[in-house]
Amino acid sequence: MESAILELISHNDITDPNQLLRLLIFHYPSLNLSFNHYDLITDSLSNLRLSLPSTSYTPFSPQKPSLYSSYARSIIPDENFIQICPNTTRSDCTLECTSVHFQPILKPYSDHSFGHCSYLNTCYPFYNNTPPSLSNAFQATKLNSPRLDRTCRYLHFELEQPTPPTKSRYTDLVDGESLNYRSDLDKLLNNKRFPAQYLNCDLRSFDYNTLGKFQIIVADPPWDIHMSLPYGTLTDDEMRKMPMSTLSEEGTLIFLWVTGRAMDLGRECLSIWGFKRVEEIAWVKINQLQRLIRTGRTGHWLNHTKEHCLVGIKVSEDGVVRWPEWLNKGIDCDVIVSEVRETSRKPDELYGMIERCCPSGRKVELFGRRHNGRDGWLTLGNQIGKDVVHDNDLASRLNARCV
Per-residue pLDDT tens digits for 184-217:
444 443 456 788 999 999 998 899 999 999 999 9
Q: Are 117 and 155 in contact (CB under 8 A)?
A: yes
Per-residue pLDDT of the chain (403 residues; tens, 9 = 90+): 888 888 888 877 787 777 788 788 777 877 878 766 777 887 788 788 777 654 333 333 344 333 333 333 333 444 445 678 888 888 888 878 888 888 888 887 787 777 788 778 878 777 765 444 433 333 334 444 444 445 788 888 888 876 544 443 333 333 334 333 344 444 443 456 788 999 999 998 899 999 999 999 999 999 887 655 556 788 889 999 998 999 999 999 999 999 888 899 999 999 999 999 999 999 999 988 888 887 666 667 787 889 999 999 999 888 888 888 888 888 889 999 999 888 788 999 999 999 888 887 899 999 999 999 998 999 999 988 889 999 888 898 988 876 5
CA atoms within 13 A on the CB side of 386: 1
Angle between helices 38-47 and 2-11 (to 10 degrees): 80
Rounded distance between C-alpha atoms, residue 121 and residue 370, angstroms: 23
Cβ-in-10-Å burial (0-12, 13-18, 19+) of 122 comes to buried
Q: What is the radius of gyration, based on Cα positions, of the chain?
A: 23
For residue 231, the model assigns a pLDDT of: 66
For residues 46 and 33, give the distance between their C-alpha atoms in angstroms, rounded to a whole number.
Answer: 18
Residue 29's pLDDT is 77
Burial code (b: 16+ CB inside 10 Å, e: under 16) for 108-118 equals eebeeeeebbe
* Contact status, residue 304 vs residue 335, Cβ threshold 8 Å: no
Nearest-5° Cα angle at 321, 315 to 326: 95
What is the structure's pLDDT at 10? 81
Query: What is the Cα–Cα distance from 276 to 315, expressed in whole angstroms?
Result: 7
Q: At CA 368, angle to CA 24 and CA 224, rounded to 5?
A: 120
Confirm if 43 and 57 have CB atoms less than 8 A apart.
no
Q: What is the pLDDT of residues 223-265, one digit of tens each?
A: 887 655 556 788 889 999 998 999 999 999 999 999 888 899 9
> How high is the pLDDT of residue 134?
35
Residue 242 near residue 380, CB atoms below 8 Å: no
**Contact between 13 and 171 (Cβ < 8 Å):** yes
Give the closest residue to 77 by CA, choosing from 7, 20, 147, 30.
20
Closest CA to 245 of 281, 204, 217, 223: 217
Q: Please provide the size of the chain in residues.
A: 403
Domains of the chain: 1-48 (no CATH), 78-120+151-162 (no CATH), 193-402 (3.40.50.150)
Across the strands, what pairs with 307? Answer: 283
Task: Say what the pTM is.
Answer: 0.62
Cβ proximity of 310 and 270 under 8 Å: yes
Give the pairing type, strands 177-178 and 173-174: antiparallel
pLDDT of 131: 46
**Closest to 199 (Cα-Cα) out of 392, 389, 9:** 389
